[in-house]
Each structure stands twice: as structure tokens, then as C-alpha cells.
Structure 1
Amino acid sequence: MRQYIKYIDGLLTSAVEKDPATTSKLEAYFFTPGVQALANHYRAHRLFKKGKTFRALMLAKKSRRKTGIEIHPAAVIGERVFIDHGMGIVIGGTAIVEDDVTIYHGVTLGGIDLSPDNKRHPTVKKGAMLGAGSTILGDITIGENSKVGANSLVLKDVPDNATAVGSPVRIIEH
């Protein structure tokens, strides 16, 4: 329980720090769909790891209906992740999102490999920012502190500290 409270506090702190429209942790808790989706995912992920797949999937479904944010219970999500205007976000089952990542609305962390035995979804490293509507597909890595521009299509790795934009993506800063 203590670990859950610490995780939620990190989400709330991140929301207040990264969203100028959010003025308090209380406001973030009740009115920020990203916080609600990540809090539900925390619980669903633990159920999934314990083999309680049906319960985990039901909680994920309920969260998706409430928030518009779809996170598979098998996905690994770090601490202090901030989801702003989360409607339409999809995070696949083998995705890994590290600490302090910012995700804007309409982002897809999707798979292109259909084999259930392979890692099919992206890894997003610490401190990265994923712009609104960006689509990141496959077992690729978005580097630490990198930025992916809005509506970008990413099918290859983005190095650390880079800015990637376009469809298909190109690196404009490194």
C-alpha cells in the first residue's frame, strides 16, 4: 500500500508541475484522466503479474471507458509519467514507458509484429516527450530525453536527446 501511495503522489506531483492549468494535487486526483488511468493501470498491472488476467483486463476496460486512455495491463509504466489530455492514447502490452515521460493525447505505442512471444511494442526511455497524435510502432526505442513531434510516425529508433518529427520521422536535432 505504501508503494501505491508513493506512486500516486509522484503522478500528482508530475501533473501539477507539468500542467499549468492544474493547481493542486487534489484537483489532479479528481479531474486529470491521465492520473486516473495510470492509477488504475498500477492496480491492473499488479493483478496481471499475479496471473489474475481476467480481473486485470476488466479493470483496464473500465478505466478505458472512463478515461479514453487504453493501457494494456501487461505494459510496464514507470513513475511520474504525465499524460496530458489523454483521450485516444493506446499503450500496447509489451510497451515499456520509463520514469518522467510525458505523453500527449492521441499517442499510439503499437505493435507491428503479431507473434505473442516477441516484444512487439516500443520502449520509451526516461524523460522523453511524445507529441499529440504521434504513432510509434514496433520494438523500437525512443531515447532518453528525446522529443517526438506531433503527428509523427516513428518506425525506427530515436537516439537519446534527439528531436524527431514528420511522417516518416526524421531526426532534426541531436
Structure 2
Amino acid sequence: MGFWQVVKADMKAAIGRDRLSRLPVVVLFNPSFAAVFLHRVAAHLYHTRLRRLGIAIWCWNVTRTSCHINLDSQIGPGLFLPHPAAVVIGSGVRIGANVTIYQSVTLGRVEASPIYPTVEDGAVLYTNAVLIGPITVGAGATIGAAAVVLKDVPPGGVVVGNPGRIIRIAPPADALSAQEAARP
């Protein structure tokens, strides 16, 4: 996916699916979109000959938004940070498409392992969640506020508590639509 397609997906995530009339306001004033857009620009420049300019934009973005997203993290399109303050995303983190991350979420590694967390498509990470180490958060999973996740979360799983425990596993979206189609 090209740079501008990813930015367009980020805009749609920040605007909502049907509120195109808000586009100018979002682009100019929304801190959520600004944090993600400036990160995308900085990361793009960082991986070209303009590395120092990318680092300068990254530093300005961190200072401006208090959102620390490492330039070596891999982030899919449609990232939505409703409140980007104090979000920390480490260098090896992989995030899928259409993920929502609320304020004060940390994704990092433990000293014993060089591997960072992977967050799959459509996951939602609520306020103050901490995901540490070589774990995978499955597609469509929900991590509750202040949960500390140290183990893998299955797709559709809901995790709460410290240490995080799975309290529910929702069926995949295609299974739900198949069940609804089978009803008379």
C-alpha cells in the first residue's frame, strides 16, 4: 500500500466512516490525525536519504503530541489514536490495519527478549494498557483499561486486569455473519 493510501485510511479512521464534511477540520486541528500523519511523514523520510529531516519531524511530533512512536515500528493503515498523549510504541512493534489505541498505552519489550508485541487488525487497546514482550494480540481483540498483557491474546479475546486474563472470546466476524444469514 502506498504512502498516500495509508494516509487516506488514517484520515478515514480519524473522521469516521461517513463524515467527509469534517475533513478540513480534522486535517487542520485534530491532534489524533496530526500525531499519526506526522509519524508517517517522519518514518517515510527516515527510511530515505532525508533521515535527519525525518528525525527532526519525529522529535517535533513527540514534543507537540507527547506520543512516542518509534520510527522503526511497522504500523498498518487506519491507525486511530483518539487521545494520543503518552502513547509509547517501541521499535520492533508491528500493528495491523484499523487498530485503535487510547492514551497512555505502552507497547514494548522485556530485557530478556528482543521481540516486541504484534497487534493484529482491528484490535482496540484502552487507556493505560501495557503490552510487553513477544506476544501477539489477535485480530479484533480488546485490551481493557490498565490491563498488563504478558501472554498471547486470541482473536476476538477480551483481556482485563493485572496480570491480564482473558474473560471472553468473541467469535470471528465472518462466523457471526454466517450465523445471521442462516437464521430464517
- Give the TM-score band, short-chain normalised: 0.7 to 0.9
Kept in 1: contact 2:6–2:76 (CA 8 A): no
CA contact (8 A) 1:144 1:160 kept: yes
SS in 1 for 2:78: coil
Which string of whole-angstrom CA distances, capped at 9 and with x for unpartnered residues, describes residues 52-72 of structure 1? 544333221110111111111
Q: Which has the larger radius of gyration?
A: 2
Superposed displacement of residue 32, structure 1 = 2.0
Q: Residue 125 in 1 paired to residue 120 in 2?
A: yes
Residue in 1 that maps onto 2:130: 135
- 1:31: which partner in 2? 29
Give structure 2 stretches of 5+ with no counterpart: 170-184
The amino acid across from 1:7 in the alignment is V
Match of residue 16 from structure 2: 17
The within-5 A match list for 1:21-170 is: 24-50=22-48, 53-113=51-111, 118-119=114-115, 121-170=116-165
- Mean alpha-carbon deviation: is it higher for 28-37 or for 75-84? 28-37
SS in 2 for 1:109: strand
Q: CA deviation at 1:51?
A: 6.4
Identity among equivalent pairs (%): 29
1:113 partner SS: coil
Q: 1:133 to 1:23 in 2, by over 3 A?
A: farther
String of CA shifts for 1:3-48, please: whole Å, max 9, x gaps: 3332222111111228x9x971222212222211211121222233
TM-score (norm 1): 0.87
Aligned-partner residue type, residue 79 of structure 1: P
Compared with structure 1, are the counterparts of its residues 53 and 112 closer, same or farther at alpha carbon in structure 2 (3 Å cutoff)?
Answer: farther
Q: Matches of 2:93 and 2:30 in 1, distance apart?
A: 22
Query: Is 1:163–1:171's contact at 8 Å kept on the other side of the alignment?
Result: yes
**Cα contact 1:57–1:72 (8 A) shared by 2:** no
Q: How many residues align?
A: 168
Aligned to 1:8: 7
Counterpart of 2:73, as a letter, is A
Contact 2:141 2:158 (8 Å CA) reproduced: yes
Distance in 1 (alpha carbons) for counterparts of 2:37 and 2:89: 15
Q: What is the CA–CA distance in structure 2 between the aligned matches of 1:156 and 1:58, rounded to whole Å? A: 35
Question: What 5-or-longer segments of structure 1 have no aligned partner?
Answer: none
Corresponding residue SS for 2:81: strand
Whole-angstrom CA distance in 2 between matches of 1:110 and 1:50 = 25
Worse-superposed segment, 135-144 or 46-55: 46-55
